[in-house]
Amino acid sequence: MSLAIVIGSIAVVTLAAVLAAWAVRRARRTADERVAEAVRRLGEGMQDTMRELAEAVSAAHAAGRQAGFPGEPAELDFDDVAEQALTAATAVPGVEGALLETLGPTGAIVSNHVGLAAREAANADVELPADTGLLAAHLAFRPRAADEDAEAALQSGVVVPLRVEGTRVGTLSAFSRSPAGALGDSAIEELERLGLRAAPALWNARRFAEARAQADLDPLTGLHNRRYFHELLAREVSRAHRYRRRLSLLLVDAVDATDDALVELAGLLTGAARAPDVPCRIADGEFAVILPEAEPDGPELLARRLAEALRSNNASPSPVATGTADLQPGDGATELVERARASLERERQSSRGANQAP
């Protein structure tokens, strides 16, 4: 083989390799661009979904369009989903009130209504027959003529079962006060479609709430955990500044306490706290209580109630130190916690000095 042929072959191979490398780089760059474009479109889609959640109901009212259910909110908040379902139901032409009954996050039946008085909602609660093929049930009301508000009373309604994978998980009812007659077929079809979309959204929101509640709890004491504490404190600090409300914090430290002692302390702390207060376990032997809108001496009163409960019950977690702080203008959550810790450390030092005194 001549030298020219060899050189030519090497040149061809080299060129092929260069072209291949360039093709690979271009393919990778194209793939990267496609991924970036997909991410961008996904972000835009999420923004569109958020806008739909905010605008769907008002648009349905304004334009009289077919009632819809834009999908599950990003946060999957059960109350928000229930409210969206009710508001979408009342956007259906002819519907003047709606009632939603379904399993809530705690496993209990939750009943919400809009456009109905409490008495009306209670009287309109109808038990559907156990028919898995039932799409909707029609209701007709005959108000007593003697009733003062008979003309404004409910005249007709439709009950739509909410099912998930064939299992009924609740009902969505819609009502009209018009004496002209029952809701029409088009309205009923829209309510049925709404039920088909609302049922899985409510079910998923319920499951999300259950999972989130478990993730927010300390497995030993049953109190809220450190992650929940920091999330809630940040929200409460922001709310307190926005509405110029008081916010206080109590820290409780049990030194060298056993698990049984910590469980006991958690129970006493919960019993001593007010209903709005939120006790949390934030470290091995450390607890925190968020006190929204407490009186100026609220944290100190809570600390005293806890001390009295410990003495009265001969509780085992001892010694227990406490520290308090009130939110100041310009404070963030970090500053509030730091001042509570400083107060806690001063009490520790004071206790050590008292114990070391002759």
Closest-CA residue to 252 (of 312, 339, 340):
340
Q: Which two tokens stand for residue 51?
A: 């806008």
Q: Is 2 helix (H, G, I), strand (E, B) or coil?
A: coil
Do 244 and 283 form a contact (C-beta atoms < 8 A)?
Answer: no
Do 290 and 249 form a contact (C-beta atoms < 8 A)?
Answer: yes
Burial-class residue 112 by CB neighbours within 10 Å (0-12, 13-18, 19+): middle
Task: Give the residue, 138 or 84, on which the prediction is more confident.
Answer: 84
Range name among 138-142, 333-337, 354-358 with the lowest pLDDT average: 354-358
Could you report the per-residue pLDDT of 10-42, keeping only the tens digit for each? 444 444 444 444 544 454 344 344 434 443 443
Do 321 and 347 form a contact (C-beta atoms < 8 A)?
Answer: yes
Q: Got the DSSP string for 5-48?
A: HHHHHHHHHHHHHHHHHHHHHHHHHHHHHHHHHHHHHHHHHHHH
Whether residue 123 has pLDDT greater than 90: no
CB atoms within 10 A of CB 227: 12
Do 223 and 281 form a contact (C-beta atoms < 8 A)?
Answer: yes
What pLDDT shows up at residue 141? 77
Closest-CA residue to 208 (of 73, 53, 77):
77
Give percent above pLDDT 70 in the chain. 72
Whether residue 180 has pLDDT greater than 60: yes
Q: How many residues does the chain have?
A: 358
Phi, psi for 282 (deg, rounded to 5): -110, -5
Mean pLDDT calculated for residue range 327-333: 95
Radius of gyration of the chain from its Cα atoms, rounded to whole angstroms: 31
Cα distance between residue 55 and residue 240, in whole Å: 29
Query: In the sheet that 97-103 helps form, which strands lie side by side, from edge to edge?
Result: 109-114, 97-103, 167-176, 156-164, 137-140
Closest-CA residue to 154 (of 141, 145, 144):
141
CA angle (23 as vertex; 21, 24 as ends), nearest 5: 65
Could you report the per-residue pLDDT of 201-250, keeping only the tens digit for each? 888 888 888 777 778 889 999 999 999 999 999 999 999 999 899 999 99
Whether residue 121 has pLDDT greater than 70: yes
- DSSP element (H, E) containing 323: strand 320-326
User: Look-up: residue for tokens 């009490």?
Assistant: 347
- Residue 165 gets the label, from left (phi > 0), alpha (psi -120 to 50) or beta, of left
User: Look-up: residue for tokens 């929204």?
Assistant: 292
Burial-class residue 11 by CB neighbours within 10 Å (0-12, 13-18, 19+): exposed
Bridge partners, residue 167, by sequence? 164
Domains and CATH numbers, the chain: 60-215 (3.30.450.40), 226-356 (3.30.70.270)
Closest-CA residue to 277 (of 256, 295, 259, 258):
295
Could you report the per-residue pLDDT of 56-83, keeping only the tens digit for each? 334 434 433 444 554 444 445 788 888 8
